Structure 1
Amino acid sequence: DAFTGSLNRTSGENFGSYAINKNTLALNSNYILNYSSANFILNKKQLTITADNKTKAYNTPNPILTASYSGFAGIENQSVLQTPVLLTTTATLTSLPGTYSISANGATASNYNINFVQGTLTIGTNNGQLITFAALADKLSNDVPFNLTASSSVGLIISYTSSDPTIARIINGNQVEILKAGTVTITATQSGNANYAAATPVSQLLRILDNQIPVITIESDLGVNIRKGDEAVLTAVGASTYVWSNANGIIGAQTTNKLTVRPSENTTYTVTGANAFGRTSTQTITITVKEDLSVIVTSPATNIISPNGDGVNDYFVVKNIDLYPNNTIVIYDRSGKTLYKVKSYKNTWDGSVNGLLLEEGTYYYIIDFGDGKTTSKKGFITIVKQ
C-alpha cells in the first residue's frame, strides 16, 4: 500500500511559522487516515555587514564611508533593509596620521540576523605641500642683506641653501648676505613633518652685479698752477654722471664731466661722480692762482692797436683787468705828459683823447692794480692808423 497526494504548507517566505496542511495526502479504502498537523519554521538568515577600510591624507576631508554585505538570500540586496546601515568614524578633517575605527550599526531587516564588522580609516601624511618662491630681482655687490620670502602652502617653515656661499650665503635662516659679484642658485626646501610629506624644492637664480665705487680722476688743461684770470677746463673721468660743487670762479654748467673755471684765488674744486647703479665717490683738485696778470693788446705779438672800426685791434685790452676793480690806468707820451687816465678801466680806450684820435706813434702806460699788493705794470703801445 502507498500514500497518494501530497502535503502543503501555508504560503510565505518571510521569517515565521507556517502550518503544514494534509492537503491531498490519502491511503486506499482499507485505511482510515488520521492526520496530525505540524508547523514549518523559517529562521532568519545570517547577514554580515562589514565597514569597508578607507584611507586619506592628513588635513583632507574624510572619504565617503561604504560597507560590504555578505549573506543576502538569492538576488536580495541592501534594499531589503528596513533601516540602512549607519557608518561613522572618530576621525575628523584635522585628525593626526594614524588608524581610526569605522563603525557599522543600526541596520535592520526582518528576515536577517545582522552581524556588524568594524573597518579602519588610515590617515597618512599629506603629499600636497607646495612651495611658492618668486623670481629674485638682480642685486648689486654692495647691497645689504635681504629677506627671502618663499612660503609653504601649509604654513611650515622654509629652509634655504645657496649654490655658492662664497658669492652669496644664507644668514639668519631666511636672509641672503652678498659677498661679491656673480650668479648663484637659491633653493627653497621644506622637509615635512609627521603630518605633511616633504615639498618639492623650488630654485631661483640670483644675479649679483658688480658695483665697484667709481675711481675718479681730474685733470686741468692748464695744469694746477695758473695765472689769475686764466680760464681752465677741468675734466673728470671714471664715472657715468658728474656734479661739481659750488666754488670760486665756476663758469657754466656743473653737471657734466667738464667744468670751466676762472678762479681769482687758490681754489679746491670737488666733483661727485656716480656709476651706472648710482654708487658715488668724490674727487678734488686744487688750482693755485698766481698774481700774474698779463697785459695783452688784441695783437699781443706787436702791442699795436689800429682803431679803424674793423673789429681787429681796435682797443687797448688788458686781459683780466676786471679782477682788479680798483685799478687805475694812465696813458702818456714820450715827454711824460699824461694823455688819458681812468679808474676801473673796462678795456674801452681806442687811442683817442677828448674825442680826437692820437697821432700814430708809440705811447706808454702804467697800470696801478689798486689792491695794495700787486706790483704796477708798465709798458708801451703803438697806435697805427690804417
Structure 2
Amino acid sequence: MTGPANKLADYTIISQPGVLTITSAALVITANDQTKVLHAPNPDLTVSYSGFLAGDTPAQLSGTLTCSTTATLLSPVGSYPITCSGQTSLNYVITYVPGTLKVLYLVGACPVRHQDDDRPQVLSHAILPPINADGSSIFHSKGDVPVRFRVCDANGNSMGSPGTVTSFVSLNGPQPTSQRPNPWRFNGEDSDHDNNSAQDRPNPYPFWQFNLELRPLPSGTYNYLINLNDGTNIPFSFTIDHNH
C-alpha cells in the first residue's frame, strides 16, 4: 500500500490529556417596577429572572431572595428604589438590577372618611365641576371659571401640600392666567357649626382651585394639562362661545 496513509508508520502518536473549562453563565435578577397609592401599604416586591439554562429555575439557586425599598407607609409621592439580594449559585454569575416603586395619588373615587356622610363621593385626580370631565362644558361668560380638582390618599384624605401642582399649561392656546397673585389655592376643610346636618358637617372633600381668566380667550375649544408632583397629570378641555 502506498500513498499518504502509509506515512502514519513514520510517526509515534501520543495522546495528551486536555482541560475542559465550564464557566458560570450570566443570570440577571431584576426587581419588578411597582406602584402604590399614597399612604397605602407597600405592595409585595417581586423579581424577574433572565439567563437560566438547561431548564434551570430559581429552585436551583442557593440562599433566600430578599427585596426591600426605602418607601414606607408615610412616604410622600415620588419614586423610590427597590433592591434585591440573597441568592447565589456556582453555575451562574448573578447580577441584581434595581427597580422603582412609584407612590402616586389615588385615581378614582376617594374613600368616605365618615360612615354617616350622605354626600356624594368626589373623584380624585379628575377635573371637577363646573368643568365637565368629558370636555362638554361650554362657557359664554367673559369672566373667570374655577378650575377645580382633588387628589387624595388611600384613606380619603385630600392632599394640599405646597408643590402639589408643578405646572398648569395650555396645549393649544394662550397660557392660563388668573387675577390672583397666587392663583392655585387649596380650599381646606370648612369649620362646622352644630354638626346637626350634612350641610353643617366639615367639608370632607377639600380641593385645589385656579380661577382661570376667560377674557383673553377668543371663542374656541381649549385643552389644558395640570401637572402634579407625582409625575402624573390631569387633562381637561372646554369650549368658549362668546357669541351667545
TM bucket normalised to smaller: 0.3 to 0.5
What is the TM-score of this pair, normalised by structure 2?
0.46
TM-score, normalising length from structure 1? 0.30
Which of the pair has more CA radius of gyration? Answer: 1
Query: Which structure has more RCO (C-alpha within 8 Å, separation ≥ 6)?
Result: 2
